[in-house]
Amino acid sequence: MSPYQHGEVFVTEDGAETDLDLGHYERFIDENLTRASNTTTGQIYAEVISKERRGDYLGGTIQVIPHITNEIKRRIGLAARSSNPDVVIVEVGGTIGDIESLPFLEAIRQMRKDVGRDHVAYIHVTWLPHIGATNELKTKPTQHSVHELRGIGINPDMIMLRSDLPVNEAIREKVALFTDVEPRAVIPLATAAVLYEVPLLLEEFGVADFLIDRLKLNASAAPDLADWHMMVEEMRKDKEPLPIAIVGKYVELEDAYISVRESLYHAGVAHDVDVTIDWISSEDLEKGRGLERLDKVAGIVVPGGFGYRGIEGKIIAAKYAREHKVPYLGLCLGMQVMCIEKMRTIVGSDDPNSTEFDHTTHYPVIDLMPEQRDISDMGGTMRLGSYPCALVPGTQAARAYGTAIVHERHRHRFEFNNAYREVMTKNGLVLSGLSPDGRLVEIAELADHPFMVGSQFHPEFKSRPNRPHPLFKAFVEAAAARLDAAEK
């Protein structure tokens, strides 16, 4: 999936490649979701076609209704059965009126009949555009979208009004009147200064109470949000800025690294610093532009990516971090370029590389995993999902985690080439995390560096706002220490 079209590709514990929104849901609810929580149009149509080929429909004509809609409802049922929840929240993406979302809207309309009217609530999220010339928030688009919904048989029970500006009571009352929704169910959601404040705003406006009444749920105890309040207050506090560079290939679209960004913010809160990110294009670095920006940061993060474009710029960033003792965190490809750069230093040549980028290199430090060699279908066939990693005692990685075995999420085809273990470990590379059988290098770090650690996996997928990921926490701690030392 192209980061320029989809943003970040979020990976679940069981190896599903999903939309970045699922990452936000995990961070908010602190639950590890599965592939059952992500359904796409392609999956739906592929399953229906597969059933038709097998003869499941006995040669009948395949139609959007009931075959496609039934498959959508089956997928909703799978999500409901995967963890036995009390409530299933189903987000239908897109815009009301788009042809792509019509089968999904029809499916959730039918859910009201399938499970009972009292067990379904429809929430419509809508945008209030601001007209600068008159300084107005306009409700007409909301009225039109509700009209469209009613035309397909869905009457919203609640309307969420998204806006960049405060929404006053007059607007709420107007929307309630024109959409026939209870006034208390028209919820203003102005853009919050802190993303994680949103659940508190929803609670303040009584969203949970309304849904408990609407769905006749048994939930008498009020939620204890004291810790979440404290966390948000901590995020709001003025703190000392900590400049961190993210050197990536897709920095034009920051959403391509959204979990990395959030993980840095989580770690910053834990260390009482305000992480400020300088987004540096790796292509600019390899063209000789922007290197001076690395002089102004306290730490460097090199995230994942695919393809040769911008790779030499990432290697330049790794070299800068090594030579200048700048704390460095490499994620997936960021770990691989760190190893490539180290090997180039050892042999005094630019030949060491990954076979992903140079098939003719005499030093294939990074190479295709053996089980990936005969794969022809590129979609969804990488090493995906959670795998165990055994940490080597006494290493920076082990100190960061404070445990012997961890489970982390992967998304890659290429691995550290074991043929170079001996020469690189003799020259200062520490293999601090291995697969339990010792076959795969999962974490590498430099022995003579304050903090230069790379992981083959993606730790950013498991960071939480109130529980930062250990590697990010250790990295930010090292960066803050470097900044403190520089200021003294």
Contact 110, 73 (CB under 8 A): yes
Average pLDDT over residues 443-460: 97
Q: Which of 438, 480, 434, 484 is nearest to 455 (CA)?
A: 434
Reply yes or no on whether the pLDDT at 378 is more than 70: no
Q: How many CB atoms lie within 10 A of CB 39?
A: 20
Q: How many CB atoms lie within 10 A of CB 265?
A: 22
What pLDDT is stored for residue 6 in this prediction? 80
Question: Which residues are within 8 A (CB) of 115 and not within 5 positions of it... i.e. 6 or more apart?
Answer: none
Least confident of 207-221, 367-381, 402-416, 471-485: 367-381
Contact 216, 224 (CB under 8 A): no
What pLDDT is stored for residue 220 in this prediction? 76
Query: Following DSSP, what letter does each residue of 244-290 receive, concatenated?
Result: EEEEES-TTSGGGGHHHHHHHHHHHHHTTEEEEEEEEEHHHHHTT-S
Reply yes or no on whether the pLDDT at 379 is more than 60: no
Q: How many CB atoms lie within 10 A of CB 105?
A: 22
Take residue 328 and report the two structure tokens written for it. Answer: 């460095």
- In terms of Cβ atoms closer than 10 Å to its own Cβ (0-12, 13-18, 19+), residue 77 is middle
pLDDT band, very low/low/confident/very high, at 373 (cuts 50, 70, 90) = low
Strand partners, 434: 390, 441
What pLDDT is stored for residue 375 in this prediction? 56
- In terms of Cβ atoms closer than 10 Å to its own Cβ (0-12, 13-18, 19+), residue 68 is buried
Average pLDDT over residues 81-94: 88
What pLDDT is stored for residue 226 in this prediction? 94
Active-site residue, 460 included: yes
Reply yes or no on whether the pLDDT at 238 is more than 70: yes
* Tens-digit pLDDT profile for residues 293-312: 999 999 999 999 888 899 99
Catalytic-labelled residue, pool 332, 339, 341, 389: 332
Q: Which of 140, 133, 205 is nearest to 166 (CA)?
A: 205
What φ, ψ does residue 147 adopt, rounded to 5°? -60, -40
Active-site residue, 144 included: no
What φ, ψ does residue 406 adopt, rounded to 5°? -130, 160
Take residue 350 and report the two structure tokens written for it. Answer: 């630019």
pLDDT band, very low/low/confident/very high, at 82 (cuts 50, 70, 90) = confident
What pLDDT is stored for residue 351 in this prediction? 96
What pLDDT is stored for residue 348 in this prediction? 96
What pLDDT is stored for residue 16 in this prediction? 92
Q: Report the chain's mean pLDDT, rounded to a whole number.
A: 93
Query: Identity (one letter) of the amino acid at 94?
Result: G
Rounded to the nearest 10 degrees, the angle between the axes of helix 20-29 and helix 258-270 is: 30
Active-site residue, 389 included: no
Residues 155 and 124: their CA atoms lie apart, in Å, by 9
Percent of the chain with pLDDT over 70: 98
pLDDT band, very low/low/confident/very high, at 221 (cuts 50, 70, 90) = confident
Residue 82: which H helix or E strand, with range? helix 69-83
* Tens-digit pLDDT profile for residues 22-46: 999 999 999 999 999 999 999 999 9
The domains of the chain, with CATH numbers, are 121-191 (no CATH), 239-487 (3.40.50.880)
Catalytic-labelled residue, pool 17, 106, 312, 460: 460
What pLDDT is stored for residue 369 in this prediction? 72
- In terms of Cβ atoms closer than 10 Å to its own Cβ (0-12, 13-18, 19+), residue 293 is middle
Residues 34 and 25: their CA atoms lie apart, in Å, by 12
Q: What is the C-alpha end-to-end distance of the chain, expressed in Å?
A: 46
Q: Which of 298, 272, 331 is nearest to 471 (CA)?
A: 331
pLDDT band, very low/low/confident/very high, at 80 (cuts 50, 70, 90) = confident
The pTM (predicted TM-score) of the whole model is 0.92
Average pLDDT over residues 260-272: 97
Residues 478 and 484: their CA atoms lie apart, in Å, by 10
